Structures are given as structure tokens and as C-alpha cells.
Amino acid sequence: MVAMLAFLQFTIVLDFMVLSPLGALLMPALAIGPRQFGLVVSVYAIAAAVSGILTAGFADRYDRKKFLLFFYAGFLVGTVFCGLAPTYPTLLAARIVTGLFGGVVGAASFAIVADVFPLALRGRVMGLIMTAFGASQVLGIPIGIFLATHLGWHAPFLMIAGVGLAVGVVIVLRMPPVDTHLEKTRGQGAVQHLWKTATSARYGVGFLATMLLATGGFMLMPFASAFTVNNQHITVEQLPILYVITGVCSIIFGPLIGRLSDRVGKYATFCAASTIVIGVVLYYTQMENAPLWEMILISVVMFACVTGRMAAAGALTSAVPAPQDRGAYMSISSSLQQMSGGIAAYLAGVLVHQGPSGRIEHYPRIGIAVSVATVLTMFLMYRVHRLVAETAPAQAAGEVLAGG
């Protein structure tokens, strides 16, 4: 189960992350600037946000496996359209289609994790699934850059669609039904279920924390490759080395930090990783002409902590909703996260400016914005931590009695 969800998440993450290293190639190919490129990134997130809200009322009314496969199929179709898009407007349209379906896939995956695994194990499970970020850097992004360099920027999207099709077939054949929640959701209308979940005072703090959680990634990643190439003078040929080493370390440290969160506490682990991220991001965004070894070191520390931070936060917030509300809660959370991330990606394009030489100007502004968002998230996650500490034992007992 963990392996299937990790590979599925790999394709979803890669679809987003591959845009960053392709930025240095895609912007001149389509004759667009940072603001237009930021829109390419953000439009996916905005579409995913809309989709998450529209589907939240239905998320707990079906077998989670069937629900997952339906939206994953739509995601793959949208990715194929990205690979066939000939112009900037058609690429934007394709990203909208991909976002409408892809945004729901992650929410369905995390609902399955919460249904199948107890809270005491979710840190390590989330850490393993989050290795998708590292794997996308080790396997996907270098291959994507190679394909884009030799076959054009369309090729990586077609590669993702091919890998995703194989993953989908394995899920169809090997994943068992995930439907124990259906006994508790019968008789609820979709709109009623959505409204009840969205307006719950208990869930509100979890929604707010989730909104800010992905802000850093959405602001940093879109211009990371352009910043590395044009400001630090790392060549395009050296980018795969940077991504591979960073990805391998993320694969190693992500599960370790996830396991640590189960032992010492998910909130304590989240705060420690977040504190390190703030210091590294502030330093990273002000770097100038750094050698390759320094870029590798900084990237390794930053992405290892980001992966661990997401694993700890994901495990902690998964304990907030009741079993019968998990699908709706995850869909709304994903929607809010994507909406926040889409706005963050667009604001990143507004905050920075690309000079005539290709240099990314005002990048330290992004470091400050990311740090502020991280501090706010730490305060909100504390409230989530207190809420889970008060209610998780009773919720776990209810699941045992229900046979969950």
C-alpha cells in the first residue's frame, strides 16, 4: 500500500516540480517572462483548489480506491495534453485540466493513509510517501532535463504520463478496496456533508495551517533553476548533479525524520525542521556566485528539512478529522493549500524580476516571505497539536469499535 501510494505521489509531485528546472528552457522557447511563467505554475494550483471544493462533498461517499483512480486518470489525460501543447495559451489550458484532476489525487491518497494506518505509525508512513519528492529529483527531474534538452520541453510531460499509466495499472490490480468509512456516511447529502465539514470549528485551525504549509515550496521552486543558473552560474549541465544528490539525501532523511516524529513527537519534529528551514532559506536566497558544492550542501539541508516537515505535519493534521469526514476534510485542505500555493507562486513572479542578462533580481524578498509564512504555520500547528492531543485517544477508540 505504501509503495503504491508513494509511486502515485511521485508522478503528481514530478508533474509540478519538473516545471521549475524547465523554466530556464521554457521561458525562452515560449517567449515569456517570469510573471507569465509564474502563472503557468499557479493556474494548476488554482484549478486544483476549485476541484477540491467541488468534489469534497462526494469524497466520502465512494470506495476511496475508485475515487482515487477516477481522478488519477483525468490527471494523466491532462499531462498528455501538456506534452502536446504547441503554444503558451494551450499549455495554460492543459495545466488547468491537469490541476482539476491532480489536486484531488493527493487528498484521496492521504485519506487512504489515515484510514489504513494508526496515528502512531503515520509519521513513518508519511515520511516514506514524501520520498516521492526526493525520487522525483533523483529519477524524474534529471531524466526530464535530459529529454527536454534533446527532444524539447514537451517530452518530460509525456514521460510522466507513461510512468503514471503503469502506476495506475498496478493500483487497479493490487490495491484492495478502501470502504470501511461508507457505513458512517450513508444518508448524507453531498452539499450537506461539504457544508458540515467546511464550517466545523474543530477543523478550521487545520485548514488554516494547511493553507500556509506549502507556501514556501510554491514561492521558491518556480524560479529555483533560473536563480541557480543565472545568479549562481551553475550550468544547465550541472543541474542534474545538484538535483540527484539533493534527491538522494531527501529519500534517506525523509523516512528517518518521519520515524523520528513518531518517537519524539510530531509537533516537536515539525518545529525543529521549520526552524532550520527558515535559517537556510534566508541564507540561500541571498547567495551570490556560489560554487556547486555549496549549492549542493544548502539544497540537501533545505530539502531534507522540508520533506521531514511535511511528513510530520501531514501525520499530525490527518488526526484532526473524524473517519467519516476524512475524504471531505482532505479535499478541502488540499483545495485551500493549492489556492494558497497558487497565489504564492504568482506573488513570487511579482516579487522578483528577471534582468536582461537573465539574472533573477530581488530574490531575497522571497526568502523573507517564506520565513514569515513558516513562523505563522508553526503557531497554527501548535493549535492543531493541542487539538489532536485532546481528541485523538477517543477517536482511536471509536475506530477500533467500528472495526476501522
- Can you spell out the DSSP letters for 144-208? HHHHHHHH-TTHHHHHHHHHHHHHHHHHHHHPPP--TTHHHHTT--HHHHHHHHHT-HHHHHHHH
Contact 184, 324 (CB under 8 A): yes
Cα 306 to the center of its chain, rounded Å: 11
Please tell me the number of Cα atoms within 13 Å of 43 on its side-chain side: 19
Tell me the per-residue pLDDT of 31-89, one tens digit each, with 9 for 90 and over: 777 778 778 877 887 888 888 888 877 777 778 888 889 999 999 999 999 888 888 88
Q: What is the pLDDT of residues 128-179, one digit of tens each?
A: 887 776 676 666 667 777 777 777 778 888 888 998 999 999 999 988 888 7
Q: What is the pLDDT of residue 320?
A: 85
Distance CA(212)–CA(337), nearest Å, equals 7
pLDDT of 400: 35
Residue 161: which of 88, 101, 239 has the closest Cα? 101
Q: What is the pLDDT of residues 12-32, one digit of tens each?
A: 888 877 776 677 677 777 777
What pLDDT, on a 0 to 100 scale, did the predictor assign at position 401?
34
Residue matched to cell numbers 469499535: 401
What are the pLDDT digits (tens) for 335-360?
A: 887 778 777 877 887 888 777 777 88
Q: What is the pTM of this model?
A: 0.74
Q: Domains of the chain (ranges plus CATH)? A: 2-175+186-402 (1.20.1250.20)
Report the distance separating Cα 23 and Cα 34, nearest Å.
9
Q: Which residue type is seen at 142?
A: P
Grid cell locating 7: 509511486
CA-nearest of 250, 309, 217 to 131 is 250
pLDDT in tens, 223-234: 777 788 888 888
